Structure 1
Amino acid sequence: MAQQHGIIVLIDVENALKERSLDKNAYWFDNMKFLGSTGVGTRKLTTIVPGTSFVDGSQATEQVLNWLPAALGAVPPTVPRNYQAERSQTIDRAALSGIAHLDSSDDSEVGKIQEKVTMRARRPQTSRSLTTGKVLDATGQVAGANATETYNYPTPVITDITGPAVTEKIMYPAQYGSPDMIYDGWYWAATVDTSRPGTYAYTMHIQLHELIERNDELVWESVDLTCESALEVITDPKRNAFTGSGLGMLPIPAVF
């Protein structure tokens, strides 16, 4: 079975949208630092991909890379899928309760309730991953009409993977469907040809979403950007991270 490598692309969405660039706004992490991956947690990650071979030196199985994007400072994608809907309903119930006890002469209180109830974003017709509903801030509270830098940005979406690693047929990326609902049931993965050692760059195409006002309503508008990373195929065979040796049985301590 191919060894699985996880790569997280953490993006500072707010700054990336301001600068219209992922340069200095994307941070890469993988789970292969123990084998020599460099730049973990920085903008310059080189992921180590160990070669896999049989005893006679011939190639055994390929390696597999999995990419998961995340937004820095946003509500974690691991919260329940109905989180935003639940928050919206809770806010509406609180607003209705406030209206029931409201002094009609207090315009300031009316304004506060209206702000909470009407702060909604429309779902773009071209989007399959953004839900309608209230706009939340980074703490999961509703974002007021005057909030400017506290939006809970949607999870970045990987749209393509290109570059020398792909054109030279070192890795074969594709988007896959799965039961994993955290990323809307879609994720990007690639098999890697470990028979050709070397360092190969690749380009990640990522779509962010910016909250804008259009025709008196809020809309999430897509912004397409790119960032760079690399993988290094080494000749060392894959080995057990617990023992440091090759694949096989884990040592079982004697029990007396």
Structure 2
Amino acid sequence: MSQQFGIMVMVDVKAALKTKDLQEHVYLIGNMKGFGSEHEGTNHLVSKVNGTYWYDGSQAGEEVMNWLAIDINDLPRSVQRTAHHKSKTIESVLSKLPLLDNKNLKGEKAKQNKEDQLVDLRNHLQESTLGAAGLHISNDAKTGIQSAWPLINTKGELVEKVAGNKDDIVYHPPVITNITGEAVDLGIIFPAQYGSPNFSTEGWYWCATVNTAHEGQFSYTVDVTLFDLIEETKDAPAYWKPVTMSFDASILISRDPMKNGFTGAGDSYLPI
């Protein structure tokens, strides 16, 4: 039976964008250390995968590797989902509601006053919920798709504008976009992208089956798209600009038998 191996790709997004170098600002943590993985928590992880074989030496099953990228400066998911409740947006909107009281006005004046105040309230609401609506992902601020990622600061509060707040804003999470390299070219791993309800990855994640019939160490390259926050100008709103970078890692396949990661038991070949 196949085993699931996981690798957390922890990225210092702001540092990588500033230096234009992802390799020096990524930290890889896998769950295969008990099998013999090396350099856990560094930018050059070597993931150890023990092959699965029958007594006659034939391969019994492929292992499965999973990658999930996160920003080391990220906030917990629960904070992001409830950010609008903690912001001052709702309070500021509610503070406008008493203005709709027209008890001292009558006739056309009351009607016109209410209409004017409703327009003011609508405009105020649109401006106040900018952060909750999310910015566009684009290369030029003119075209692009709307991101579901809220514009929030490190306190979990919605931000109405980028200018003056950029250093405190939590950046859009990194998204893995491709896996290539020696291990793929030689048919050692077979990566693919799958749909996922994970909020931080825009609904996608990457995994790969491993052909454990080939022993040895093989390198692979992971492409990651980061999102640089471009401030608003008088001619254009703020937006997320995608920037794709890559880092290298390795997989080490051996004929060592699988074993229980908790107890170390089962250190033998699978039974027939």
Give the TM-score range, shorter chain. Answer: 0.7 to 0.9
Q: Does 1:164 align with 2:173?
A: no
Moved over 6 A (4+): none
Work out which of the two has the higher radius of gyration on C-alpha atoms and give 1 or 2. 2
Distance 1:181 1:18, change over 3 A: closer
Aligned to 1:254: none
Kept in 2, the 8 Å contact 1:210–1:220? The answer is: yes
Kept in 1, the 8 Å contact 2:80–2:156? The answer is: no
Structure having the higher strand fraction is: 1
Q: Letter of the aligned partner of 1:187 in structure 2?
A: Y
Which string of whole-angstrom CA distances, capped at 9 and with x for unpartnered residues, describes residues 34-64 of structure 1? 1111111111100111110012221100000
Gaps of 5+ in 1: 103-112, 249-256
Distance 2:80 2:64 in 1: 27
Q: Does 1:136 align with 2:152?
A: yes
Bigger CA drift: 56-65 or 234-243?
234-243
Kept in 1, the 8 Å contact 2:64–2:210? The answer is: yes
Gaps of 5+ in 2: 100-123, 138-142
Q: Letter of the aligned partner of 1:140 in structure 2?
A: G
Between the two proteins, what is the percent identity of the paired residues? 35
Distance 1:142 1:80, change over 3 A: closer
Aligned to 1:236: 256
Which string of whole-angstrom CA distances, capped at 9 and with x for unpartnered residues, describes residues 12-53 of structure 1? 000111111102110000001111111111111001111100
Of residues 213, 217, 242, the one that matches 2:237 is 217
Distance 1:4 1:44 in 2: 21
TM (norm. structure 1) is 0.80
Counting only pairs closer than 5 Å after superposition, residues 3-22 of structure 1 correspond to structure 2 as 3-22=3-22
Kept in 2, the 8 Å contact 1:81–1:182? The answer is: no
Of residues 196, 200, 206, the one that matches 1:188 is 206
Kept in 2, the 8 Å contact 1:123–1:132? The answer is: no
Which string of whole-angstrom CA distances, capped at 9 and with x for unpartnered residues, describes residues 71-100 of structure 1? 011113x4377435545xx43212224557
TM (norm. structure 2) is 0.76
Distance 1:182 1:207, change over 3 A: closer
Distance 1:10 1:69 in 2: 6
Counting only pairs closer than 5 Å after superposition, residues 67-216 of structure 1 correspond to structure 2 as 67-76=67-76, 78-79=77-78, 82-84=81-83, 86=85, 90-97=87-94, 117=128, 120=131, 121-124=134-137, 126-127=144-145, 130-131=147-148, 133=150, 135-143=151-159, 145-181=163-199, 183-212=201-230, 213=232, 215-216=235-236
Aligned pair count reads: 232
Distance 2:149 2:67 in 1: 26
